Amino acid sequence: MSALLSVTDAHVGYGKVEAVRSVSLEVGTNEIVTIVGANGAGKTTLLSAIMGILPLKGRVAFAGQDLARLDIEDRVAMGLGLVPEHRELFVTMNVEDNLELGAFRIEKSRAKASIERIYTLFPRLKERRKQLAGTLSGGEQQMLAMGRALMGEPKLLMLDEPSLGLAPIIVADIFRIVTELKASGVSVLLVEQNAQAALKIADHAYVMELGEFVLSGKASDIAANERVAASYLGFQHEGASVL
Amino acid sequence: MNTTIMLFLLQDGITNGAIYALLGLALVLVFAVTRVILIPQGEFVTYGALTYASLASGQMPGTAKLALAMGITACAFDLFVARKTLHGRLILRSVLANVVLPAIVLALTISLAAQKPPVAVCIALSLVIVAMIGLYLYRIAFQPLAHTSVLVLLIASVGVHLALQGLGLLFFGAEGQRGPAVLSGAFTAGALRFTGQSLTVYGITIAFIVGLWLFFGLTLYGKALRATAVNRLGARLAGIRTTLSGQIAFLLASIIGALSGIMIVPITTLYYDSGFLIGLKGFVAAIIGGLVSYPLTAVAALFVGIVEAFSSFYASNYKEVIVFMLLIPVLLLRSLAAPAVEEEKD
């Protein structure tokens, strides 16, 4: 089976500093893949480069097509979506306008139906649909950012730290929705510091350290890995060595 | 001073202020969407005005040829950039919009100019010609620089202004021109005399502001433009092309500029270089509005117009000086009120 997204030998740098080195990864159809790692490991940089925000050396293919010559908007049109760490909402516009713009490239009739679907997924957004995006709480903003990305009907949604700074109850909600997305046929590439929660819902996982993947495998195997448990899951198996 | 003079000056100021308001709004729009400080806005004014005046007096305006030349250049840019991924539809679209359209307009202009077409036709043709110039200008001068700093865009903007002004001299000569009134006739109300032309200015300004408000508030493209202004990256992630937003912004700015020119040229004689000063006054208003606020810009523009009218009465030699001096207290206040701004990141 050919992967939906495949990244081969990717290098991403800021000037002379290489923030991501020789990284390869695959996301299959209908799969949740997670990249876990500490702050500053290069996870956000990698997602930005896959989306076309940062230049990338190496090969990125999506749905069998090389993305090298395509800019952000083309990638969106192909079905690649990104919910960035800072959400990048249209803060002076209301919730409904934000969602409507998410479907900028989608047919109007289909966009109408999508908006209802988003409201079923996030009832909170429906309650606040005339409220300005900038006045929403952090959790609601995260929901809106996800909703806006979903309005573009992505085949693969990349989520950058969706749980960052949110209350535990909202985090649980967001992770539940990620699994629902998978059930509805959207693949997810999830970048998280909250490794425990991410590994629980993912099919496949990569562990990133200092710009490189140091481990990869089935999420359940990674979660059981002693080194990962020690470094990222906050507990130590008996006899495990920290690095 | 007696009340009559004051009322006259106020009326005069509001008429000019209405024009500055339109220009100021266009400047805010273009800056918010593309980060370009549109110095050539004044050239859109002169091009619109003088194209209209030339057509009305039965002369062939050079701007129609300029539009075709710029269109061909824009098309060449399009094809060069997309050379690796060329396909039929893209080529067809670019050729139609950039070459066929201005060619048709040029042919129309040549055939109509000699017969002194009616005012409405002159207005329509002038608007179309200047709108095309605005659109191609974005493609040629600013789209390739879209990701550079505000300073680089400003330098390009100054360059474009000088180039267009020079071309203006070439097309229209050093002589000033006046155009026929859009609406002739006048009526008096008390001590005030309203000409059809000043009423046209009020009417069109109000209609345009309402139109812009509806466009930004209700249509998907209007919202996309606002979205680009609020958050460029967010807009791109939603699939809104920065290029598309830039094109719409420039199209609107050039139409607003040309329309302003067509409204003033029956009132004042315009020269090839008059637009710059008119545009600068819109710019004063836009600065007072902080280059972000549309309502504040519109109000400030009326204020600029009124100050100008009064200073031309009391100290006509210092008229411009007084108007531009308005900037100093505004900038001072803004610099005190605003926290230190970091150099922009993108």
Lowest mean pLDDT among A63-72, A132-141, B3-12, B82-91: B82-91
Instruction: Report whether pLDDT(A242) > 70.
Output: no
Please tell me the predicted confidence (pLDDT) of residue A234. 64
| pLDDT above 70 coverage of chain A, percent | 95
Q: Does residue A219 lie in a domain region?
A: yes
Amino acid at A35: I
Instruction: Report whether pLDDT(B209) > 80.
Output: yes
Contact B223 A88 (CB under 8 A): no
Instruction: Report whether pLDDT(B342) > 60.
Output: no
Q: What is the pLDDT averaged over residues B132-157?
A: 95
Per-chain mean pLDDT for chain A: 90
Query: Which single residue is written with the structure tokens 């993305």?
Result: A67
Contact B237 A104 (CB under 8 A): no
- Give per-residue pLDDT as tens, A146-173: 999 999 999 999 999 998 888 888 888 8
A31: domain CATH number is: 3.40.50.300
Q: Does residue B343 lie in a domain region?
A: no
Tally of domains in chain B: 1
Q: Does residue A117 lie in a domain region?
A: no
pLDDT tier at B340, thresholds 50, 70, 90: low
Q: Does residue A116 lie in a domain region?
A: no
Contact B239 A69 (CB under 8 A): no
Q: Does residue A161 lie in a domain region?
A: yes
Pair of tokens at residue A194: 């909250």
Instruction: Report whether pLDDT(A4) > 80.
Output: yes
- Give per-residue pLDDT as tens, B12-21: 899 999 999 9
Instruction: Report whether pLDDT(B128) > 90.
Output: yes
Lowest mean pLDDT among A34-38, A157-161, B150-154, B166-170: A34-38
Q: Does residue B163 lie in a domain region?
A: yes
Please tell me the predicted confidence (pLDDT) of residue B341. 52
- Give per-residue pLDDT as tens, B70-89: 999 999 999 998 887 778 88
From chain A, pick out residues whose CB is under 8 angstroms from the CB of B224: 101, 104
Q: Does residue B268 lie in a domain region?
A: yes
- Give per-residue pLDDT as tens, B170-193: 999 999 999 888 877 788 877 777
Parent domain of B293: 3-337
A93 → closest Cβ in B85, B230, B237: B230
Contact A101 B236 (CB under 8 A): no
CB contact at 8 A, A6 and A61: yes
Amino acid at A120: T
Q: Does residue B345 lie in a domain region?
A: no
Q: How far is A160 from chain B (nearest CA, A)?
A: 13
Q: What is the pLDDT averaged over residues B287-291?
A: 86
Parent domain of A11: 1-79+154-167+187-243
Please tell me the predicted confidence (pLDDT) of residue A168. 87
Tally of domains in chain A: 1
Instruction: Report whether pLDDT(A243) > 70.
Output: no
Q: What is the pLDDT averaged over residues B281-298?
A: 88
Q: Are strands A187-192 and A156-160 parallel, antiparallel or unpaired?
A: parallel
B121: domain CATH number is: 1.10.3470
- Give per-residue pLDDT as tens, B113-122: 888 889 999 9
Please tell me the predicted confidence (pLDDT) of residue A237. 45
Q: Does residue A98 lie in a domain region?
A: no
Q: Does residue A121 lie in a domain region?
A: no
pLDDT tier at B106, thresholds 50, 70, 90: very high
CB contact at 8 A, A79 and A70: no
CB contact at 8 A, A122 and A102: no
Q: Does residue A193 lie in a domain region?
A: yes
Q: How far is B292 from chain A (nearest CA, A)?
A: 12
User: Which residues of A fall below an 8 Å CB-CB distance to B?
Assistant: 51, 53, 69, 71-73, 76-77, 81-82, 84, 87-93, 97, 100-102, 104-105, 108, 148-149, 151-152
pLDDT tier at A240, thresholds 50, 70, 90: very low
For chain A, say whether B218 makes contact (Cβ under 8 Å): no
Q: What is the pLDDT averaged over residues B310-319?
A: 90
Q: How far is CA B191 from CA A43, B11, B187, B306, in A?
A: 73, 11, 11, 18
Q: Does residue B346 lie in a domain region?
A: no
Cα(B82)–Cα(B84) distance, integer angstroms: 6
- C-alpha torsion angle, residues B90, B96, B98, B100 (rounded to 10): 150
Please tell me the predicted confidence (pLDDT) of residue A38. 85
For the full predicted model, state whether its pTM sits above 0.90: no
pLDDT tier at A238, thresholds 50, 70, 90: very low
What does R_g of chain A's alpha carbons equal in angstroms? 18
Would you call A66 helix, strand, or coil by DSSP?
strand
Contact B223 A93 (CB under 8 A): yes
Please tell me the predicted confidence (pLDDT) of residue A225. 85
Instruction: Report whether pLDDT(B346) > 80.
Output: no
- Give per-residue pLDDT as tens, A102-125: 999 998 889 999 999 999 999 999
Per-chain mean pLDDT for chain B: 90
Q: Does residue B68 lie in a domain region?
A: yes
Q: What is the pLDDT averaged over residues B204-231?
A: 92
Q: Does residue A228 lie in a domain region?
A: yes
Q: How far is B32 from chain A (nearest CA, A)?
A: 13
Q: Does residue B205 lie in a domain region?
A: yes
Q: What is the ipTM of this complex?
A: 0.91
Q: Does residue B114 lie in a domain region?
A: yes
Cα(B254)–Cα(B43) distance, integer angstroms: 9
Please tell me the predicted confidence (pLDDT) of residue A235. 54
Q: What is the pLDDT averaged over residues A6-11?
A: 94
